[in-house]
Structure 1
Amino acid sequence: MSSPQVALVTGAASGLGRAVATALAARGAQVMCADVDEAGGQAVAEELGGTFVRCDVRSLEENRAAVAATEATYGGLDLLYANAGVSSGIGLGEEFDEERYRHVMGVNLDGVVFGIHAALPAFERRGGGAIVATASLAGLTAVPLDPLYAANKHAVVGLVRSLAAMKEQRGVRINAVCPGFSESKIIAPFREALVAQGLPIIPAEQVADTVLALFDGDMSGECWFVQAGRESQPFGFRNIPGPRA
């Protein structure tokens, strides 16, 4: 009988992170719940029979510590859901704030980069693994209302697609999930406006289903959209124009 999979989930205290942690635990995985929200993250971990570790994903050292805690607690690491994220709420006009900009880029981009970097040695010790990063439909299209969010989510998409070769080199698969407006803290400030416009809010559990499908499959370097009323599938990127003589 094979041992249960071990998963590290960032942003596990609420929203998509909580939904994925719950889905993983429901099928028998051992889950390390990481978040800056200590009370929320601890509550989720206790509910699921998992373990909580405080992790500010903007810090490389805290990402390394979260991976180390996972290995120390469960003996290894098989799955990483690099999920923690925030919206910016600012553009590049007079409202621009450098501190907010650094915070948003730190969570949404550095958090994915640092998380993957910290997890790779653990995957190598395990003989392979799988990563899913939370991007967004904002990583696949223009978002005039939050260009900085679009910028870091486009970066996550580019990172995931570029790291796909790890499957052959290190036995590690990496994919991205790109949801539309989903139940999470990110949409809380404008959720009512979305509903008033008739835009459906995607249940976090629907996103979790796609994340688990990405963990279970054999794909790598794919970016799967999640949209209300549609079946999730990989986004079809067009190839860039080739050179001409």
Structure 2
Amino acid sequence: MISGESRAADRPGETDGSALRGKVAIVTGGASGLGRAMALTLGKAGARVVVADLDVRGGREVADMVGGHFRACDVSDLDANRALVDFAREQCGGVDIALLNAGVATGCGVGEDFDPARYRRAMGANLDGVVFGTHAVLPALRARGGGAIVATSSLAGLAAVPLDPLYAANKHAVVGLTRSLGPALAAENVRFNAVCPGFAESRIIDPLRDMLSEQGLPIIPAQVVADTVLRILTGDGTGECWFIQVDRDPEPFRFRTVPGPGKPAGT
């Protein structure tokens, strides 16, 4: 195992994913956008994929495309996450990989536009979905002798986002969880990493498309994110948060070390 700030330079830019052949993978938010690309990429690599989403039609379509299974799941509900894992174990015999990707836009701030229902919905999908998903899948990974979890965060989890502070808050929380759980789970042979894409092809950016176009900001293809997830899964790092930005090779973000205690005055 390698700690969170490990060797990006040692990883190849591309991988065929052959090491994933026969592995069982759960992909939440798999009906569209990033999750769809992840599910298709894992299916192409030979993994057995369980697609989870609230979009039943889209989820079943993706599952059919990869010869996998579909399960409707609200990731903000702990029991639904447990039921999803139970379903994967029943259908596929176990779980080796969990891509905790489901997420939504916040839709409000903390001022006059604050909406408690929208806030809870966003935190439920973007943060609880990762926490609950991790809690639910860990027993299944342990039963296989280990495995891998990749959570979808965002560049909003690595930088200040004044225009959407609540989205930044839940994505920062996923980054903190990743950096902490990576080393915490290493002894159990469970690797925990995150992807942190910029503006990538998904439903979340639908309200921003005109603005992005006007400012000449390109949208990152969902496949680039899926390929990065494949690199993470076939690597050996843990506790890493891989940034994905236009015209840059994805790699783990280099966090600065927190300053240690200072010396008392006069010493």
> Is 1:67 matched with 2:82?
no
Residue 28 of structure 1, aligned match among 12, 34, 46: 46
Counterpart position of 1:42? 60
Tell me what 1:230 maps to: 248
The letter of the residue matching 1:233 is E
Matched, 1:52 2:70: yes
Secondary structure of residue in 2 paired with 1:224: strand
Can you list the C-alpha shifts for 1:56-78, whole angstroms capped at 9, x where unaligned?
00000000000110010011101
Q: TM-score, normalised by structure 1?
A: 0.98
Distance 1:46 1:19 in 2: 14
SS state of the match for residue 71, structure 1? helix
Counterparts of residues 1-245 of structure 1 (less than 5 Å):
4-245=22-263
Larger radius of gyration: 2
Amino acid at match of 1:210: T
Answer yes or no: is the 8 Å Cα contact 1:166–1:173 preserved in 2.
no
Query: Which SS does the other structure have where 1:76 is aligned?
Result: coil
Paired-residue identity, %: 60
Return the structure number with greater relative CO, CA threshold 8 A, min gap 6: 2
Aligned-partner residue type, residue 228 of structure 1: V
Find the residue that maps to 2:71 and give its secondary structure. Answer: strand
SS at match of 1:177: strand
Structure 1 stretches lacking a partner, 5+ long? none
Q: Within 2, Cα distance between the matches of 1:225 and 1:9?
A: 20
Flag structure 2 segments of 5+ consecutive residues without an equivalent: 1-19
Q: Partner amino acid for 2:127?
A: L
**2: distance between equivalents of 1:93 and 1:84?**
26
Residues 243 and 250 in structure 2, CA contact (< 8 A), matched pair in contact too:
yes
Aligned equivalents of 2:207 and 2:68: distance in 1? 30
- Please tell me the residue identity of whatever aligns with 1:145: L
CA distance in 2, matches of 1:71, 1:44: 19
**Letter matched to residue 99 of structure 2:** Y
Distance 1:211 1:47 in 2: 19
After the TM superposition, list the runs of 4 or more consecutive aligned residues in structure 1 that deviate by more than 3 angstroms.
none
Once the 2 structures are TM-superposed, how far is the Cα of residue 27 of structure 1 from its aligned partner? 1.1
The AA in structure 1 aligned to 2:193 is: N
- Rounded Cα–Cα distance in structure 2 between residues aligned with 1:79 and 1:127: 12
Letter in 1 for 2:116: E
Distance 1:86 1:10 in 2: 12
SS in 1 for 2:83: helix
